[in-house]
Structure 1
Amino acid sequence: MNNQTLKDAYTGYIDCLNRQDWAALGDFVGEDVQYNGERVGLAGYRQMLERDFRAIPDLRFVIDLLISEPPHIAARLTFDCTPVGELFDVPVNGKRVQFTENVFYTFAAGRIVNVESVIDKAAVAAQVLKT
């Protein structure tokens, strides 16, 4: 994949997530995908995302920064949302929060095969717990 093709594949993936088009997820994510060092497979990855959308009904992935160096993508994603219940072990309970995720992807054969994610969980706690 060249640089532009890789970026196009990634933005297509983000669009797929935002549409919650789970039937198309396999077009972007490999069958044996790993997430933070653990093989979760496509089915496990989909289940994780579906859980995220249940916990955060207004979840929307917004690309703030995108760097492409085939076969890798590095992205900073921003979130402005209203989770229900707990988020990252913090009782958010419907409070609007903003946070970021720095995530690194490896692609093979046009699909994501590895994801390394670091979410700014402290930002969520700071917003919810401030008085």
Structure 2
Amino acid sequence: MNPWETLTGSDLTREWKAFEARAEALPPDFREAWGQVTSHLFAYGSFTGRNLMPILDGALGLLEETAADGQRVEAVLGDDIAGFCAALAGGEGARSHRDRWREQLNRTVARKLSRLGG
């Protein structure tokens, strides 16, 4: 990957379009599951989302294999898609960007309050 692609994010756009083309070939229930997986995984992404690309590639590959084997989507994802995505992103209870921002805000407020009180 060249620096210009990294800077502009055009490599991510190209990868995302390839993911979407692969997802279009899935049966309808698998496409719906792919949409849910992507929406749940975005909460675990970095600012650019670059860290999610290998995870998304693996999840889509899993859906493709399951569809090719003629299994149901629930066989691989289960009933808890959000939990499945949390496990993919780094384990159950993985911290999302919202959790990190909340912790940062709490630290900042505590620091400001300690300056006011002392």
Provide the TM-score with structure 2 as the length reference.
0.31
Normalized against structure 1, the TM-score is what?
Answer: 0.29
Please tell me whether Structure 1 or Structure 2 has the larger radius of gyration of its CA atoms.
2
Q: Which has the higher strand share?
A: 1
Larger fraction in helix: 2
